[in-house]
Amino acid sequence: MTAKEYKDLTMNEFTKAAEVYESDNAGVHNMCKKDYPDVLAELEKEPFNDLLDCGCGTGPMLTLLHEKYPEKHYTGIDLTPKMIEVAKRKALRNVASAACTAL
């Protein structure tokens, strides 16, 4: 499989999953959310004002961070425009999201 074919397949699969990505049946999200406590623990060690979430999906980590640190600024980027569309619906203050299809 070429890099372009792999990218297209990935975008297609995550586009189909975007609306249910944060449900209990979403395998990738369930796998990733197990790491959230470790990510938060690491962020406690280093002060920050801005954070970039690469591969933010529908923004579950950004939502968690925004709840814990509402005064900070966050940017989420993702390969799949549909994931960003779902993330933007959350309308979190100080959070910007964009699709990065050039990756």
CATH of the domain at 19: 3.40.50.150
Give the pLDDT confidence of 5-34 residue by residue, as tens digits: 998 998 998 899 888 888 866 677 778 888
Give me the sheet containing 95-99, strands edge to edge. 50-54, 73-78, 95-99
Q: What is the pLDDT of residues 35-92, one digit of tens each?
A: 889 999 999 998 899 999 998 989 999 999 999 999 999 999 998 999 989 988 888 8
Looking at residue 53, its pLDDT comes to: 92
**Residue 54 confidence (pLDDT):** 92
Domain hosting residue 37, numbered range:
3-99
Count how many domains the chain has.
1
Per-residue confidence at 99, pLDDT binned at 50, 70, 90?
A: confident
Instruction: Name every residue whose Cβ is closer than 8 Å to that of residue 24 and which is 6 or more positions away in sequence.
Output: 30
Residues contacting residue 11 through CB under 8 Å, at least 6 positions apart = 79, 80, 101
When pLDDT is cut at 50, 70 and 90, the band that residue 102 belongs to is low
